[in-house]
Structure 1
């Protein structure tokens, strides 16, 4: 079964400096039909004005992933990490026992566009941590986040794998289902993508259950998407 979450149906927030679309219930947006998928709790599609950003604030017991689509994030946290996160890179912050951080658009002239993703950890009260990496796309589906941190991936405190999917025009790749009880969630970033026989356009999401295999097909340009494999 494939259930589509159309981009235009997501929750909306407009703070002037921030325009955000919420795949799942978040902040003042609440929809009991869209509370998350398994441990995947938040996908916010954030656009931040030049020079603006999120002032210092705290998190606890959450695995927070940022993926920059365009622009650069300026990150600073209570553990002394002062980093920049450019387009194409991934950041994973394990909030654990507690962490404070700020995130700003590093440019005073160009907008910032990124995805903010929250995954609930399987263990509470772990030590907080910070990871960041740019990944070379070695295959159509490249793992970037895993529970073990194997093969140089970022390590998440949950039975969840995050892949980046990149396809050239007219390219296809099949993703076998590891276990029929697992769930997949696809968030399309760029291009037009077919998931089996269902078409997605940028910003759309797809919740996939009880499919023996999933065929990803690109057309009308290259495709970039994030694919979550969830227990």
Structure 2
């Protein structure tokens, strides 16, 4: 475990993110991504990418490669079609967690064209958050997993979505190849609250709605918070409406992983 010495809560507002806007894509990047490079903003803990993407119907990311990365996709609205070079295919929708382990190399595409698999064409964009964390073992076989967890989310509280941590063995979380990291999600009803985990590194993303973070105040859709050497704060949804949050719990950083 990497020991950090100074507690820090770093609030990043939605409008501070770099953005990629082209005809079919509206993407907002929490960290350096593509042509948006900032040497002071490359990762937090083990999280290297957190992209907030909206893709127009009939379009999407054409086949492209990845290597040695754990990629978790969480859909907020609409549907996203995944296909890859090792034969996996699936339609992702809200409440369905997905993980792709790139391992020694994989090709995949992600498109908003589910009607190709049956059904009527639609004009709804797909809105999703895609997150990349470094694996703790390189060169593994590529892999894929998806799991419906809507029932767990409806019970309230933080739900493990994707985890490599031993304490989540046997729970509903899909498995990632990093024993130091876990992604949690919560759908909060108006006025309800959750307590954040405690870990050397946390990353909170407000996917939808408005919440109040103990000690930091209100957070809106698209806001994020990077916690270092702290945690346990209470997060409360606004009384005005529901909210959805994503929380990465990480017990080392890239430097600690390399040792």
* Alpha carbons 2:160, 2:172 under 8 Å: kept: no
* Alpha carbons 2:45, 2:202 under 8 Å: kept: no
The match for 1:26 is: 33
Query: Post-superposition, which runs of at least 4 consecutive aligned residues in structure 1 deviate over 4 A?
Result: none
Provide the rounded CA distance (Å) in 1 between the counterparts of 2:72 and 2:208: 19
Cα distance change on mapping 1:78 and 1:39 into 2, 3 Å: same
Cα distance change on mapping 1:100 and 1:33 into 2, 3 Å: same
What is the deviation of 1:34? 1.4
Bigger proportion of residues as helix: 2
Cα distance change on mapping 1:194 and 1:57 into 2, 3 Å: same
The match for 2:222 is: 203
> 2:246 pairs with 222, 226, 229, which one?
226
* Alpha carbons 2:104, 2:140 under 8 Å: kept: yes
Cα distance change on mapping 1:152 and 1:172 into 2, 3 Å: closer
* Alpha carbons 2:53, 2:128 under 8 Å: kept: yes
Provide the rounded CA distance (Å) in 1 between the counterparts of 2:207 and 2:123: 23
Alignment of 1:20-59 (within 5 A): 20-59=27-66
Alignment TM-score, normalising by the size of structure 2? 0.84
Provide the rounded CA distance (Å) in 1 between the counterparts of 2:92 and 2:14: 25
Alignment TM-score, normalising by the size of structure 1? 0.94
Q: Which runs of 5+ in 1 are unaligned?
A: none
SS in 1 for 2:15: helix
What is the deviation of 1:176? 4.8
Bigger proportion of residues as strand: 1
